[in-house]
Structure 1
Amino acid sequence: MTRSVGDCILVDSIIANTTLAIPDLPLAGLRLAVPQTVMLDGLDPHVARSFAAALSRLSEAGAIIVDAPFELLAEAGAINKFSGPEAFAWHRGLLLTREAEYDFRVAKRIRMGESMSAADYIDMHRRRREWISRMEEAMGPFDSLIMPTVPMVAPPIAELETSEEAFFKANSLLLRNPSAINLLDGCAVSLPCHEEGTLPVGLMVAGPAMADRKVLAVARAIEHALKPD
């Protein structure tokens, strides 16, 4: 979390223990795909308006905005079931002796992974590898994917504390878009795209695995175009 893409590049260079040579890409001519499957579902009005306004500014600056189907994203939810069994494998000893110290919602989510068989877990990895291969092929014609980072603004906390149903609904929505990029083993940058003085909205710039330099270059070009006049 930084104040600019330039700072992200600096931090990434420190973590990688190398100087990242990020090209200065002009925004004009970049092909930016907006996935039409899943990633735009259920946008609240402020997120929808902010994202649409950002797309207009990018288009005016010369970016080629493409509404792309990406039907493969409809498969992500069924494949992305790793966190439960992997979390349970790590926490099961602690749950036996110290479950009372866990947030009950967290413990419940971890225990959801208790029932997955090893065969199903292995099959899920196979399905993920195949899905990544098909997604990377579909992403080939584009410089990056762009989408709202999350489909809603930060919800009031009181309702989530009193309603387990509301908590898990909000939790699922907030994780949905970033989790799809995690499933891809991809990389992404989230940029602010809301009007100053309004609730924060993120625009996610995403690419496949090992595309860090390209994603950072595209994100920097987008950041420049979205800066307040």
Structure 2
Amino acid sequence: MTLQPTLASLADDLAAGRTTSRKLVEACLAAIADPKGEGERTFLHVDKDAALAAADAMDKLRAVNAAPSAFAGIPISIKDLFDIKGQVSRAGSRALEDSAPATADAPAVARLRAAGFVLIGRTNMVEFAYSGIGTNPHFGTPKSAWQRDVGHVPGGSSSGAAVSVVDGMAHAALGTDTGGSCRIPAAFNGIVGFKPTQARVPLDGAVPLSFTLDSIGPLARTVECCAVMDAVLANEAWVPLAPRPIKGMRLAVPTTIAMDDLEPIVADAFERALKKLADKGALIERIAVPEFLDIGPMSVKGGFTAAESYAWHRYLIARKGDVYDPRVSVRILRGETISAAEYIDLLPARRSLIARTEARIAPYDALVMPTAAITPPVIDDMKDDKVFAKANILSLRNCTLVNMIDGCAISLPIHRDGEAPVGLMLAGAGGSDRRIFELAAGIETAIRG
């Protein structure tokens, strides 16, 4: 496996003068433009001139010791969901192409820009973020890093975000996560993806899917890279991680729902990772989490996502429903069948779910489970609606458990080189983000392969 630079190593190289922001941006632009690569399907807009101008500005600031952060000048990608001043936020859809350009950056984008990160372009995504598979019939589907000659899905909805990082077209990516949209693409491409506690990062300036479940998080190459991005996004000072020792970690494997119907290669990789942790002194317990059984009934008609997406889309879809991806519009329109009373009932039900689940998992440092129950399916197989629907459910299922309890979670790669990519997810209750990062940093190298 080719080792790619981390945000920390790039920051060191910039500080030491071994590279410049302009060189980094030029290399990313070359990767995007490579006709043999996935750049055309990964990016919906490449801001070449602005990125080069920003790179030159960061190099000049660094030369006079005025760089806004240690990471200033590093190129990153932005999911097409976010407002960037002067650009149209299409959310991967043809329905928003004639919208007015944004008049201001989304807060998440503004914070990254203020830290000196260079925005290299807008990445492709599932239309309106409504799928865990990663396909887009309007702009094409970037291929997962695994078996490019075959063509596997990249995971969704932050599909282009993951591919931009794994292919060296950006060194980190801004994504969103409503039911796994940072973690699934990370797992399907062998990188790291983080879903924070929702309140850490403002949702303003991002096209919503579910006001209740949406969160904003990073995709990057390492745990520390994600932690750096998360600190900037949360408007916190960056404090280097102190990895937790594996010995004595208290990890719980939820046997309710999360371990059902696993693809054999996923089950094998997961058990292999657990054994490595146990051999190094982690205390691993398999526990029932019966609270997870409440999530299915809460989602019978599409739950929060269908109701809240329909509320946002109802006028747009009435005018332009014919240009929506049918697989997206049919899911949005389910929200029309949810009554006000049914929606209101979901609110206390979720509060109860969160309280009971947090009590259940309180004795443990983290939950641990496969990120997705399957490895990335073949893109061509997704033409069959039934095959797509089953794969979509199995992709989203475990990640959605965490969103429903407003937890935080990180996906780490655990497959061997040459094998289909598999992710391991560490998850905790809302507000335990720093602990999850420290745990993940402690086990990151121990569980791979």
Contact 2:263–2:373 (Cα < 8 Å) also in 1: yes
Letter in 2 for 1:172: I
- Which ranges of structure 2 fall in alignment gaps of 5 or more residues? 1-218
Q: Counterpart of 2:418?
A: 197
Deviation sequence 1:18-51 (CA, Å, 0-9, x none):
2254433111001000000100100011001000
Give identity over the alignment, percent: 41
Counterpart CA distance in 2 for 1:53 and 1:140 is 25
Report the alpha carbon displacement of residue 224 of structure 1 after superposing the two structures with TM: 3.0
Contact 2:232 2:238 in 1 (8 A): no
Q: Which residue of 2 aligns with 1:69?
A: 288
Equivalent residue in structure 2 for 1:91, among 310, 313, 329: 313
TM-score when scaled to structure 2?
0.50
For structure 1, list consecutive stretches of 5 or more residues without a partner in the other structure: none
1:187 aligns with 2:408: yes
Residues 162-201 of structure 1 show CA distances to partners (whole Å, capped at 9, x for unaligned) of x211111111111101111000101000000111111100
Distance 1:89 1:181 in 2: 24
Alignment partner for residue 178 of structure 1, among 392, 399, 413? 399
* Counterparts of 1:107 and 1:16, CA distance in 2: 32
- Find out whether 1:102 has 2:102 as its counterpart: no
CA pair 227-158 structure 1, distance change in 2 beyond 3 A = closer
In structure 2, what is the Cα distance between the partners aligned to 1:157 and 1:75? Answer: 32
Contact 2:308 2:335 in 1 (8 A): yes
Match of 2:390 among 155, 165, 169: 169
Q: Which runs of 4+ in 1 moved over 6 A?
A: none
Aligned residues: 227
Q: Which 10-residue stretch deviates more, 198-207 or 19-28?
A: 19-28
- 2:355 and 2:448 map into 1 onto residues whose CA distance is 35
Corresponding position of 2:378? 156
Q: Which digits, 9 at most, give the CA deviation of each residue in 1:194-227, with x for residues without a partner?
A: 1111110000000011110011011111103224
1:193 and 1:203 in contact (8 A); partners too: yes
8 Å CA contact 1:20, 1:213 repeated in 2: no
CA offsets 1:33-82 (integer angstroms, 9 cap, x no match) = 00001001000110010001000001011101111111211111222411
> Over aligned residues, Cα RMSD in angstroms?
1.1
Query: Is the Cα contact below 8 Å between 2:273 and 2:448 reproduced in 1?
Result: no
- In 2, Cα distance between equivalents of 1:4 and 1:165: 35
1:4 aligns with 2:232: no
Instruction: Give the counterpart letter for 1:224 in structure 2.
Output: T
The aligned counterpart of 1:111 is 333
The equivalent of 1:219 in structure 2 is 440
Which of residues 112, 119, 126 in structure 1 aligns to 2:348?
Answer: 126
Structure possessing the higher radius of gyration over alpha carbons: 2
User: Residues of 2 paired with 1:56 and 1:85: CA distance?
Assistant: 42
The match for 1:36 is 255
Deviation per residue, 1:119-149 (Å, 9 max, x gap): 1101111100001000000011000000000
Counterpart selection for 2:237 from 11, 14, 19: 19
Structure 1 counterpart SS, 2:424? strand
**Helix, strand or coil for the counterpart of 1:147?**
strand
> Distance in 1 between the 2:348 and 2:430 partners?
17
Offset from partner CA, 1:139-162 (integer Å, 9 cap, x none): 11000000000000011122221x
Structure with more contact order per residue of length (Cα contacts < 8 Å, sep ≥ 6): 1
On the 8 A contact 2:416/2:448 being kept in 1, the answer is no
Structure 1 counterpart SS, 2:335: coil
Q: Report what 1:139 is aligned to.
A: 361
SS in 2 for 1:82: helix
TM-score (normalizing by structure 1)? 0.96
The structure richer in helix per residue is 1
Give secondary structure in 1 for the equivalent of 2:426.
strand
Q: 122-131 vs 74-83, which deviates more?
A: 74-83
Alignment match, 2:273: 54
Which deviates further from its counterpart, 105-114 or 74-83? 74-83
Distance 1:227 1:88 in 2: 41
